[in-house]
Structures are given as structure tokens and as C-alpha cells.
Amino acid sequence: MANKKEVGAPASPKGKSASATTKASHSGQGMFDAVLSRLDMAFSKLNPSYNFQQIIKNPQKQVVVSLPVMMDNGKIEVFQGYRIIHSTALGPSKGGIRYAMDVDMDEVKALSAWMTFKCAIANIPYGGAKGGIQCDPKKLSLGELERLTRAYTAAMSDVFGVDKDIPAPDMGTSKREMAWIVDTYSKIHGIDAPGVVTGKPLTLGGSKGREAATGRGVMISCLEAMKKIGMNHKTATCAVQGFGNVGSSAARLLNAKGIKILAIGDHTANFYNAKGIDIEAALKYVKENGGVLKGFHGGESITGEQLLLADVDVLVPAAVQNVITAHIAENMKAKLVVEGANGPTVAEADPILFERKITVVPDILANGGGVTVSYFEWVQNKYGHYWSEDEVNSKHDANMANAFEKVWYNSQKFKTNLRTGAYVTALEKLEKAVEYRGNF
Ligand code: NAD
């Protein structure tokens, strides 16, 4: 059995993150502090009520569990698992589960808040949550991963629920883990509950189009932004950081629209090719080489920093947080950044990018395609009726374009960058919901 500790929302007098172990980012700021400083910026434009500000700055529920797992060597190892529900004002909470060594309360708290804002912007009836386990999934055997995932699901079996809290994949997890979650949850509750998790394999009630949905949303928001700033996608060039689920799908789909991908990279290697990387070849290479780019021969080898500063029109950070620092923002050559990853830009880089007239499509808008198709999956599970890939994609594309338009409108109205425009779009909706619900 796992040890569980539930903590209510820890409100500190200034509404600052109460985490004692706030993780330092490249800016010296914790991730949840970065959320709060973006919120403050949006509050200064929107001037929402004091009561709403207090509520939205503090996650509703934070759960920490210790998960004893029998390793293949016969010894027990105990892992820390987290689930944070930031808000259920707009519906059941929704958010992925991340397996990574640097997962902690501060990171999960920030990610859970971004889910709240992302769902509000995408106009889907969900609140926000996030989960994670501190582990290195690449060092675990398949059996260890399964036991860990089932232990986490059992520990969270009263937190998750089809109309309560619905996880999905994130960094380090995929349909494989989602299948174990739905199986464990269904067995514990004695029901078939496919809608308790999204991003499942198709045979277990997954949705067509879900796997590539986040990358597809990046592609749609990139094209929408290009229309607004007068950039021609048929002649544009791009660099993509991260070649996992989001980065590889985004690179493939942007490439299919005529955008030349000059640089790609992951945590093992980075490559540049002035003639354009052969993305199909890179996808094939990664599939056959343990999911990583190391050893790929489709371009000259460059550093991660060279990728971020490459002479391209568009930069797509689709890997980890805090990579676009003030230094990168000052020296970046791209004119458009489309954030596939969550939190790739530190708060202090925002004004630099704005000053340099670099358009940034923020994470809470640009990577909302994943949760949008997760919502479609959940709807299909509830109906027990499944849509074609074309149906999913066309509903997704229309939804993303709509969300982009609303955010663009607010950024113009409030004379601000798209990030603050996105926060304002989310907060306007959330404030109404919180007000209607009242305090209980
Ligand atoms: P993934 O695990 O499939 O891939 C992560 C990629 O990032 C890998 O290619 C990895 O090598 C690379 N990477 C890791 N550390 C790196 C580093 N220091 N420098 C360069 N590359 C590095 O994860 P994913 O699902 O593609 O998620 C990527 C980002 O997108 C995360 O921020 C995640 O929260 C966000 N996101 C994912 C989804 C989704 O549906 N999967 C939805 C919304 C947002």
C-alpha cells in the first residue's frame, strides 16, 4: 500500500508559492512563481476581483504518495508520486502524468495551473490538473514500469474518476502507461471505465488522431500566427527542439505544409541541415534506435544552444521547460516561436521577446491540441461511438483556429503579447465560472 498525504491549498499571505522546495529555473525563479508572475501581468490588464485572484492563485488539492515497488532484483524501491488539481471551476480536472527525475510539487503545481488555463482557452469543459512520478522511465524494465504505474493508479483511485479527474500522457508516458491505468482503475472499481484516462491505445477506446494531436495543434497555431504576421509558410524555415511525441509530430506536420525544418534535436543530439532535414528519415531512425536521435546522419552536429539560436524563421521548443532564457531571447534569430512544450520560456524573457517584436504563441494556446483531442476521446468513450480520423482532425483544427483568434483579439485589445492575451482569455471565462459557483 502507498502512503498518502493530502494537503489543502496552502495560501500564503502574498499568494506566492508555498513550496519550500521551489525548483530554481534558469531565471532563478521557481516554475509556479513563473505562473504567478504571468498571472500578475494578466491581472494588471483585466483587473479581476480580489476574491477570484486568491482562488485562482492556489491549487484546489495536492496529493503526494510514496509508492513502494518491487524491483526486478527483489528489492523494494519507494517512488514519490504527485497529483495536483488546480481548479474544477469549469468541469472535471484534466491533465497528463509525467515520468521524469526532476518531477516535484513545484513543477506539478505549475503544470496543473497551465492545464486550467489551457482548457479554458480551448473552450472545453474541463478544469486543470497534473500528475507525475519522480523516476527515470528509461532505467526501468517494462515490468517495473507496469508495477509503478499500477501502484500510482491504486494510490490515486479515489482521486481519478471519469467525471472527476482524468489523466493523460505527458513527458515519459504514452498509451502503454494509459492502458495500465485504465485496467487498474477499472478492476479496483469493478467497472469498465475507459473515460477515466485519455491517450489510450485505439483498441481500449483511444481516439484516432490523439497521438499526433499536440503536434497538430502546434502546426495549426503556427499557420494561424504566420497569417497574422505575414510570414509565408511555403518559404519559411524552422528549428524544432525535442523529437518525442510533440516535437516529432510537429516537425512532420509543419514539413507537410511546406515549412523547411533546418534543425532538430533531443536530449542526446542536435542536427542542422541548410537544405532541410529529411523528417521521414529522422522519424524512421528514432523508431529503430531506442527513441533517440544520437547517431543520425541527416545533418551536421550542433549544440542545443545553436539549435535555439539557429538562423530560421520559426522556433518550436517541444522538449522541456526554461530553455528560452533571457540570453537566448536576446540572441534568437527566429521571428516566431510556437511553444510545443509547457513552460519553455522563462518569465524574464517575455519582455525581451516582445521588445524584439518576436511573436510567441504561448504553450497554453499552442499545445492545447492534445487536450482538445483528449476531450474528444472522452466524449467518444461516453457515447460508445467512435469518429473517423478526418472527423477528429477537422473538429480539432476548427477548435484550435477559434482559440487562436480569441487570444489574438485579446492581445490586440489589451495591447500586449499573445501570452498575456491567452491568460486574459482564460481568466475572463474562469472568473465568470467562479463567480456563478459562489463560495462553498
Ligand atoms: P516525450 O517524452 O515524448 O519527448 C520529449 C522529448 O524532449 C524527447 O525527444 C527528449 O529527448 C527531449 N528532451 C528531453 N530533455 C531535453 C533537453 N534537455 N534538451 C533537448 N531535448 C530534450 O514528451 P512529449 O509528450 O513530446 O512532451 C514534450 C513537451 O510537450 C513537454 O513539455 C510536455 O509537457 C508538453 N506537452 C505534451 C503533450 C502531449 O500530448 N504529449 C501535450 C501538451 C504539452
Report the atom number in ligand 1 closest to the C-alpha of 169.
Answer: 41
Lowest mean pLDDT, pick from 16-20, 62-66, 250-254, 331-335? 16-20
Give tens-digit pLDDT for 119-139: 999 999 999 999 999 999 999
Q: Which of 57, 94, 130, 429 is catalytic?
A: 130
**Domain positions in the chain:** 3-204, 213-361
The yes-or-no verdict on residue 26 having pLDDT over 50 is no
Is any ligand 1 atom within 6 A of the Cβ of residue 319? yes
| 213-361 shares the fold of 3-204 | yes
- Exposure string of 57-93, with b = 16+ CB inside 10 Å and e = fewer, is bbbbbbbbbebebeeeeeeeeebebbbbbbbbbbbbb
User: Residue 209 region, left (φ>0) first, then alpha (ψ -120 to 50), else beta?
Assistant: left
- Measured by CA distance, the residue closest to atom 18 of ligand 1 is 267
Pocket-testing residue among 97, 221, 267, 316, ligand 1, by greatest number of atoms within 8 A of Cβ: 267
Give mean pLDDT, residues 101-117: 97
Report how far Cα 37 is from the mean position of its chain's Cα atoms.
Answer: 19
pLDDT for position 347: 92
Assign 2 a pLDDT band (cuts: 50, 70, 90): low
Instruction: Give 129 Cα–ligand 1 centroid separation in angstroms.
Output: 18
Residue 39 predicted with pLDDT over 90 = yes
Asked if pLDDT for residue 211 goes beyond 50, the answer is yes
Residue 45 has what pLDDT?
Answer: 96
340 Cα: distance to centroid of ligand 1 (angstroms): 8
- Are 263 and 312 contacting, i.e. CB atoms less than 8 angstroms apart? yes
For residue 345, pLDDT over 50 is answered with yes
3-204 homologous superfamily: Leucine Dehydrogenase, chain A, domain 1 (3.40.50.10860)
Q: What is the pLDDT of residue 3?
A: 57
Closest CA to 67 of 103, 95, 36: 103
Contact 253, 260 (CB under 8 A): no
Over residues 254-264, the pLDDT tens digits come to 999 999 999 99
Q: Cell match 489543502: residue?
A: 8
CA of 265 relative to ligand 1 center, distance in Å: 11
Please report, rounded to a whole number, the percentage of residues in the chain having pLDDT higher than 90: 93
The torsion defined by the Cα of 185, 210, 289 and 270, in degrees rounded to 10, comes to -120
Grid cell digits, residue 220: 495549426
440 or 27, which is more confident?
440
**417, three cell numbers:** 503579447
Q: Calculate the average pLDDT of the chain.
A: 94
Percent of the chain residues past pLDDT 70, beyond the cut = 93
Q: What is the structure's pLDDT at 29?
A: 63
Is residue 114 within 6 Å of ligand 1 at its C-beta? Answer: no
Q: Which residues pair with 314 in a beta bridge?
A: 238, 336
Determine whether the shortest distance from the Cβ of 241 to ligand 1 is under 6 A.
Answer: yes
**Over 70: is that where the pLDDT of 374 sits?**
yes
Q: Is the pLDDT of residue 151 over 70?
A: yes
d(CA 432, CA 90): 10
Write the residue with the smallest CA distance to atom 38 of ligand 1. 170
Q: Tell me whether residue 130 is one of the annotated catalytic residues.
A: yes
Measured between its terminal Cα atoms, the distance across the chain in Å is: 33
The domain made up of 213-361 has a fold known as: Rossmann fold (3.40.50)
